[in-house]
Amino acid sequence: MTTAWLDRAGPQIPPADGPAMAAASAHLDQLTKPPGSLGGLETIAIRLAGIRGRLVTDIERPAVIVFAADHGVAARGVSAYPSEVTAQMVANFAAGGAAINVLARAAGAGLVVVDIGVAGGNAAAVRTELPGSSSGARLIHARIASGTQDFASGPAMTRDQALAAIETGRVVAADLIEDGADLLAIGEMGIGNTTSASAIVAALTGEPVRAVTGRGTGVDDPGLDRKVAVIDAALALHQLDPEDPIGVLAAVGGFEIAGLVGAILAAATARVPAVLDGFITGAAALVASGLAPNLPDRLLAAHRSLEPGHAIVLDRLGLRPILELDLRLGEGSGAALAIPIIRAAARICGEMATFEQAGVSGSG
């Protein structure tokens, strides 16, 4: 497995475009409203300009990508749901009945679901089960393996598998961008993956496991204690180096998290805004920012979830969430929900009259 692309990704992602941001800010101040009065909407518009290198006046072809995979560690009772739910939910995505289907449709966004490592069944079987895929998602079959190994007893995946999953994520995102996507909202599905994300965040930030571990889809108190104990034991076993994000990802990560890393880096390289969903996409962004330090400038955080580690991740990335709706579903649901807000910020730049055009007096 070559790492040539990854080795180049960091240097290929320059900081935000300062002059484009200044020009966007000046443009916003000429529009018929008190300067700064659209608050966070103006912040988003300026950030879009910094990513794109020009004033962004609409979001015309947003796409949502959901990476799905299973986790060996789920067998340790760290989730409220059994692993089989991952494959069942992939079928639900394809059929159009999940929350992300509804929210992507409502946002006018296309939806691509990538089976990058779901356990059980096989790709063909999953494909024939789908009742109405035309109203659902485009499903891409790209399994690295049928779930990761249990990271409590060994590495979740090999380093080559981690690199292959990152490359898969890169290709999926690059193809969507090639097809005209001008914003990528990213999310995931994988029973057990908050356990994996908490382990990654603890390893990369040095924060105590307890501080970055929450209830995920809803484990009870004994389940939460089990989750913390499993992660603590795994970190003691693997002795991870925070300066080696790929090593951390391979040891305690998941295929869907690796796919997210690749998609985030591909979007940033192409100067297309990537909208992070919740805690797990945040953990992936933390891995990716270890490879490309300028990365966070290219990202938007859709929301802050109830997972306690999410606030820590957003703080490390220096991102302020657009929404605070106590979401904890994943699937890219928060990212899709933020699309209309981001689009509104862009259209403000494209469609509002200036004081001069409208003949409105300025402040005195």
Among 61, 105, 138, 316, binds a copy of itself (CB under 8 A): 105
State in angstroms the smallest separation of the CB of 210 from a copy of itself.
22
The stretch near a copy of itself (CB under 8 A) out of 8-16, 17-25, 32-40, 230-238 is 32-40
Among 39, 124, 221, 222, binds a copy of itself (CB under 8 A): 39
* Residue showing tokens 């055009």: 357
Can you tell me the distance from the alpha carbon of 262 to that of 340, in angstroms, rounded to the nearest whole number?
A: 25
State in angstroms the smallest separation of the CB of 30 from a copy of itself.
12
Return the number of the residue (3 or 43) whose C-beta is nearest a copy of itself: 43
**Residue 53 in tokens:** 């290198």
Can you tell me the distance from the alpha carbon of 336 to that of 325, in angstroms, rounded to the nearest whole number?
A: 13
The stretch near a copy of itself (CB under 8 A) out of 12-20, 38-46, 175-183, 226-234 is 38-46
Residue 194 contacts a copy of itself per CB under 8 A:
no
Residue 299 contacts residue 268 (beta carbons within 8 Å): yes
* Cα angle, residue 339 at apex, residues 109 and 14 outer, rounded to 5°: 100
Measured between alpha carbons, how far is residue 330 from residues 8, 120, 243 in Å? 30, 21, 27
Can you tell me the distance from the alpha carbon of 31 to that of 35, in angstroms, rounded to the nearest whole number?
A: 8
356 is catalytic: no
What does DSSP say about strands 183-189 and 110-117: parallel, antiparallel, or unpaired?
unpaired
Size of the site for a copy of itself (CB under 8 A): 60
The stretch near a copy of itself (CB under 8 A) out of 158-166, 237-245, 246-254, 334-342 is 334-342
Among 14, 15, 19, 35, binds a copy of itself (CB under 8 A): 35
Residue 89 contacts a copy of itself per CB under 8 A:
yes
Residue 162 contacts residue 207 (beta carbons within 8 Å): no
* Residue showing tokens 């693997």: 238
Can you tell me the distance from the alpha carbon of 162 to that of 272, in angstroms, rounded to the nearest whole number?
A: 24
Residue 97 contacts a copy of itself per CB under 8 A:
yes
State in angstroms the smallest separation of the CB of 281 from a copy of itself.
16
Catalytic residue among 42, 167, 331, 356: 331
Residue 98 contacts a copy of itself per CB under 8 A:
yes
**Residue 95 in tokens:** 């059929």
Can you tell me the distance from the alpha carbon of 142 to that of 169, in angstroms, rounded to the nearest whole number?
A: 10
Q: Which residues are catalytic?
A: 331
Q: Which residues bind a copy of itself (CB under 8 A)?
A: 31-41, 80-82, 84-85, 88-89, 91-92, 95, 97-99, 101-103, 105-107, 217-218, 306, 322-329, 333, 337, 340-341, 343-344, 347-348, 351-353, 357-364
